Amino acid sequence: MLHVMPDKMRSTARNSIGLGLFLTGRCAVVFVYGAYGTLVFNWTDILRVDRKEARSTSLGIELFNRADVRNRQRRLMWRFNLRLPLSGNWHIIVPGDVLDAELDDIVATAQAFHSAAIARDQMSVRH
């Protein structure tokens, strides 16, 4: 029979649990801080902006050159997020729950800004 000292076993278990909770909390803070940082891109980097699907409550953004936008990001989490494969050729998906306005209004405004940026770039190329 192998005898152990229960007090030392409890102390090791508590320390392991404490370390696990600390590391989990630390990872959660890094994830939240990194995920909600600023994504840097220009309107001319965007190929399309629309609902993710016909009746979806999420905003989808497809980029012309995802690698170029990813390389300009300062936050590691955005670099990582832009590597993830998403359905429907979307490179960025924003849940509608976090948006400050109605999704249809945001889509219409984004599409207007996108069209204006493309038209402005085309005008500057002609001159």
Per residue in 10-67, pLDDT tens?
777 788 888 888 778 766 655 555 455 566 678 888 898 898 888 888 888 999 998 9
Neighbours of 100 (CB within 10 A): 5
The pLDDT of residue 31 is 55
Q: Rounded to 5 degrees, what are φ and ψ at 92?
A: -135, 135
Structure tokens at 80: 């990582």
Cα(18)–Cα(46) distance, integer angstroms: 45
The pLDDT of residue 98 is 81
The set of residues, in sequence order, having a beta carbon less than 8 Å from that of 92 and lying 6+ positions away, is 39, 60, 61, 63, 81, 82, 86
The pLDDT of residue 108 is 92
Cα(80)–Cα(120) distance, integer angstroms: 31
Q: What is the DSSP string of 52-104?
A: SSTT-SEEEEEES-HHHHHHT--SHHHHHHTTS--GGG-SEEEEGGG-SS-HH
| Per-domain residue ranges of the chain | 1-36, 43-126
Per residue in 56-115, pLDDT tens?
888 889 999 989 988 888 877 777 778 887 888 888 888 888 888 899 998 999 899 888
Cα(2)–Cα(121) distance, integer angstroms: 78
Q: Rounded to 5 degrees, what are φ and ψ at 66?
A: -60, -40
The pLDDT of residue 125 is 81
